[in-house]
Structure 1
Amino acid sequence: MALIVLIVLLALTACKDRSPVIVTRFTAFGTQVDVSLVGVGKEQAKQAADRIEQDFVYLERDWHAWEPGPMTRVNRLLASSEPFVAPPSMLPLVRLGKALEARSDGLFNPAIGHLMDLWGFHDDQLGSRPPPSPERIARLVKANPTMAQIDIEDLELRGHNPSLRLDFNAIAKSHAIDLSIRHLMEAGIDNALIKAGGHLRAIGDRAGQPWRIPIRRPNGSGVFAILPLRGNESVATIADYDRNFLFEGRLYHDVIDPRTGSPAQETRAVTVIHDDATTAAAAATALFIAGPTDWHRIAVNMGVRYVLLMDRQGRTHLNPGMAERLERVDDQDEIVLSEPLEIAAESSKTELK
């Protein structure tokens, strides 16, 4: 009888400790943002979610690549080759862009905004259209704008290529997630998940259970695997179904290879796990461009420990660490297991300021 009573009491205590998950949704950076908080009251959850939404709205305004605002002013002044004082919200993003471009061997390049615009990806609504002419693409590729051509001195920026045009769309919402998670942790919230499109960061757990993230199939429908997260980790998925248009039966997506000026051809989707969401998003973009033959080298350079890449031949490339973490939904896919990812300690984290 005493044992039965003890079991019942333990069960009741476990139920009592299982805190509800409070979810708030809003729209920013052209996608739905979900804020999931655990172990907080409704009023604290509302205050935290309201602050996160305000931050996202503010950052979206400042970092928007084509709407009038601070980013368009920065791009105009960078093209002038004259030094200028940058808006406070822009400097950390430029620093990160320079560091991530260097570590990705130039595959992640936020300075190719003119190419993004040429392809029509600076339009809010994407419709069927012919791709740009090879001649126009070649001119912008030859101009070779890179983040390395931007100098930072104290609060000033200076560009050294009139073809520079910044577009941080690949990492903007992820960086906003990182800043918001920092705010939550400073407020004493230990268990949360913030998700914006295919980018997310989770801290703690989900009422005693790991956060469980579905990995979609390359066509965007159905689930390939479940990825459990616990602690403090970020996941970024870049896929050709995210932002694209069709013309004469061919799909053109917005992951542009700066070496060719056209959408990367060999990859359909990449999922990366990293400590911070910003690095995860930049790495996923770079690995998508690197493709099935070169992703491993770039992953090592960028300090990434877990990678899943789906190629256009229907194969799924995994490093052993990622393979061990995934909960496969079925075993129909062809799996290509890589060598382990040996990561240098100095390249494993991006400094967020």
Structure 2
Amino acid sequence: MNHPRPYRFRFVIVLGMLSAILLGGGCSRQLPSQYFRLLAFGTIMELEVIGVDRQKAQAAYQTLQQDFQFMHKAWHAWDPGPLGRINQAIADGRTIAAPPSVLPLLRISQELARKSDYLFDPGIGRLVELWGFHNSDLEPHAPPRDEDIEALVARHPSIRDMKLEGFHLSCDNPAGKLDFGAVGKGYGIDRAIERLREMGITDAIVNAGGDLRAIGSRAGNPWRIAIRDPDGGSIFALLSVSGDEAVFTSGNYERNFTWKGKFYHHIIDPRTGRPAVGTASVTVLHPDATTADAAATALFIAGPDDWYRVARQMGIKYVLLIDTEGMVYMNPAMQKRIELQKPVQDIHISEPL
């Protein structure tokens, strides 16, 4: 599925760490809660750790701050840096030694794109750019001309054209451009959780603008996560998370503009080159944040008619989809986990995933 825009990251203004704190229950004196805020990926990142002293928590915060700053620079699609060098080589038709800072993310993105039938496709950076969604400050503006969209779509920009042989990357389609905005935040959160565990921290939550991964518990209580209602700023549902799970939402309310009375959001369907239609938001639970991040985008684009098939292909077990008419779609496992906070007229429960 929204920052000084190095990526197409989804920015959720409400329901961040504050929701987890307010809804998670109290902490005992033996399990102190340490809370930090940092800026990365163009949004406010939030870290809460449980059961460690202030010195250890401060060290974790400083380590994550440095890691996120490194990742932010490495994966910036439009500024100078490792990913910028890759994109320039693609445009020039040159083979390049893929930088180590980008190579793992590139490989996992290729696999996730394949599993999604390329509905999640980080190779459509030029389409993102054409629509202006790469800009730091998104202002209302005229959408691209139909002929420009169709001309670019006809060139089929896609990560599938990017070939890795060992460490060397080549692409025979100069229309391709990598933009990790729909996966980089999740991948970064997964690396942050690894760091915390290396430091001996077992109970924590890392939250990036409402997208998060939680490990352990909050003083023995589940982390309580709020899901935003796509119609406004209220809470649509609550989730309890414990053990190790990521929760990611892709919504049409996150980054958008209106031009001459028509609404345009940032989640581009690679098949049409235009904002995906039919979906308002998708929430995904998964053990790792990288997959959850990519899947939220893929299922949003798949829409009410095809989300189930794509979820199965991607190995997703928990899905909540709200369409633009307000209808709710869930699989049975998600139905058991979700606590709706408002009356819903139409709920469609799928076969088990």
Amino acid at match of 1:202: A
Q: 1:123 is paired with a residue of what secondary structure? A: coil
Q: Which moved more, 1:75-84 or 1:22-31?
A: 75-84
Partner Cα distance (2:27, 2:221) in 1:
13
- Pick from 281, 286, 293 the counterpart of residue 269 of structure 1: 281
- Pick from 204, 219, 233 the counterpart of residue 192 of structure 1: 204
Q: 1:163 is paired with a residue of what secondary structure? A: coil
Matched, 1:310 2:322: yes
1:158-214 deviations in Å (ceiling 9; x for gaps)? 112111100001111111100010011111110000000132100000111000000
Flag structure 2 segments of 5+ consecutive residues without an equivalent.
1-25
1:193-272 matched pairs, under 5 angstroms: 193-272=205-284
Cα pair 2:285 2:292 within 8 Å, conserved: yes
Flag structure 1 segments of 5+ consecutive residues without an equivalent.
1-13, 342-353
Partner of 1:149: 161
1:278-303 deviations in Å (ceiling 9; x for gaps)? 10010000000000000000000000
Matched, 1:36 2:42: no
**TM, length-normalised to structure 2:** 0.91
Amino acid at match of 1:263: P
Cα pair 1:128 1:247 within 8 Å, conserved: yes
Partner Cα distance (2:105, 2:28) in 1:
43
Task: Using the TM superposition, give the Cα deviation of residue 157 of structure 1 relative to its aligned residue in structure 2, in angstroms.
Answer: 0.8
Partner Cα distance (1:16, 1:288) in 2:
40
Q: Which moved more, 1:321-330 or 1:106-115?
A: 321-330
1:90-109 matched pairs, under 5 angstroms: 90-109=102-121
Partner of 1:347: none
Task: Using the TM superposition, give the Cα deviation of residue 243 of structure 1 relative to its aligned residue in structure 2, in angstroms.
Answer: 1.0
Amino acid at match of 1:210: P
Amino acid at match of 1:49: Y
Amino acid at match of 2:170: R
Matched, 1:27 2:39: yes
Amino acid at match of 1:19: L
Amino acid at match of 1:176: G
Partner of 1:349: none
Partner of 1:114: 126
Cα pair 2:77 2:84 within 8 Å, conserved: yes
Of the two structures, which has the highest relative contact order with CA contacts closer than 8 Å and spacing of 6 or more? 2
Partner of 1:9: none
Matched, 1:54 2:61: no
Partner of 1:68: 80
Cα pair 2:217 2:223 within 8 Å, conserved: yes
**TM, length-normalised to structure 1:** 0.91
Amino acid at match of 1:211: W
Partner of 1:301: 313
Amino acid at match of 1:84: I
Partner of 2:19: none
1:238-261 deviations in Å (ceiling 9; x for gaps)? 001111111122221110000000
Partner of 2:93: 81
Q: 2:39 is paired with a residue of what secondary structure? A: strand
1:297-317 deviations in Å (ceiling 9; x for gaps)? 000000000000000111011
Amino acid at match of 1:177: I
1:102-145 deviations in Å (ceiling 9; x for gaps)? 00011000000000000001110000101100100001111102
Cα pair 1:309 1:316 within 8 Å, conserved: yes
Cα pair 1:79 1:160 within 8 Å, conserved: no
Percent identity, aligned pairs only, is 47
- Pick from 329, 332, 336 the counterpart of residue 320 of structure 1: 332
Cα pair 2:27 2:219 within 8 Å, conserved: no
Partner Cα distance (1:220, 1:100) in 2:
31
- Pick from 123, 145, 149 the counterpart of residue 135 of structure 2: 123
Cα pair 1:198 1:238 within 8 Å, conserved: no
C-alpha spacing 1:37/1:333, structure 2 compared with 1 (3 Å): farther
Partner of 1:344: none
RMSD of equivalent CA atoms: 1.3
Partner of 1:133: 145
